[in-house]
Amino acid sequence: MRNRIGFTFLIIALLAPGIGLKAQDKPYQDVAKTIIDSALVNQKAYYLLRELTSQIGGRLSGSPQAAAAVEWGRQTFMKTGADRVFLQPVMVPHWVRGPQETAAVVNSSQLGTVPLTITALGGSVATPSGGLTAEVVEVKSLKEAEALGEKARGKIVFYSRPMDRRLRQTFPAYGGAVDQRVAGPSVAAKVGAVAVLVRSMTTRLDDVPHTGTLHYMEGVKRIPAAALSTMDSELLSSLLKKEPHLRVHMEMSPRWLPDVLSYNVIGEIRGSEKPEEIVLLGAHLDSWDLAQGAHDDGAGVVQVIEALRLIKKLGLKPKRTIRGVLYMNEENGLRGGLAYADSSARKGWRHIAALESDAGGFTPVGVGVSAPDSIVKSIARWSYLLKQINADRIGKGGGGADISPLKKFGVPMLGLRVVSHRYFDYHHSALDTFDKVNPRELELGAATMAIMAYVLAMEGI
Quick one: which of 143, 165, 241, 346 contacts its own copies (CB under 8 A)?
Answer: 165
Quick one: which of 74, 97, 422, 428 contacts its own copies (CB under 8 A)?
Answer: 422
Stretch that binds its own copies, among 244-252, 322-330, 369-377, 421-429 (CB under 8 A): 421-429
313 near its own copies, rule: CB under 8 A: no
List the interface residues with its own copies, window 26-55 (CB under 8 A): 36-37, 40-41, 43
Total residues in contact with its own copies, by rule CB under 8 A? 26
Coil, strand or helix at 177: coil
- Which residues are CB-neighbours of 99 under 8 A, at least 6 positions away? 253
- Which residues are CB-neighbours of 370 under 8 A, at least 6 positions away? 396, 397, 398, 399, 407, 412, 413, 414
Cβ(395)–Cβ(369) below 8 Å: yes
Cβ(135)–Cβ(246) below 8 Å: yes
407 near its own copies, rule: CB under 8 A: no
**Residue closer to its own copies, measured from CB, 181 or 417:** 417
For residue 169, the minimal CB distance to its own copies (Å) is 9
Quick one: which of 101, 402, 425, 432 contacts its own copies (CB under 8 A)?
Answer: 425
Is residue 330 flagged as an active site residue?
yes
- Which residues are CB-neighbours of 291 under 8 A, at least 6 positions away? 57, 58, 426, 429, 430, 431, 432, 433
For residue 294, the minimal CB distance to its own copies (Å) is 15
Binding mask 440-459 for its own copies (x = CB under 8 A): xx--x---------------
Quick one: which of 81, 98, 192, 439 contacts its own copies (CB under 8 A)?
Answer: 439
Cβ(178)–Cβ(159) below 8 Å: no
The residue from 330, 356, 441, 443 that is catalytic is 330
Quick one: which of 6, 220, 390, 396 contacts its own copies (CB under 8 A)?
Answer: 390
List the interface residues with its own copies, window 345-374 (CB under 8 A): 363, 365
Count other Cβ atoms within 10 Å, centred on residue 56: 22
User: Residue 192, exposed/middle/buried by CB under 10 A (0-12, 13-18, 19+)?
Assistant: middle
CA distance 354 to 433: 27
- Applying CB under 8 A, the residues found at the interface with its own copies are 36-37, 40-41, 43, 165-166, 168, 170, 203-204, 363, 365, 388-390, 393, 419, 421-422, 425, 438-441, 444
**Which of the residues are catalytic?**
330
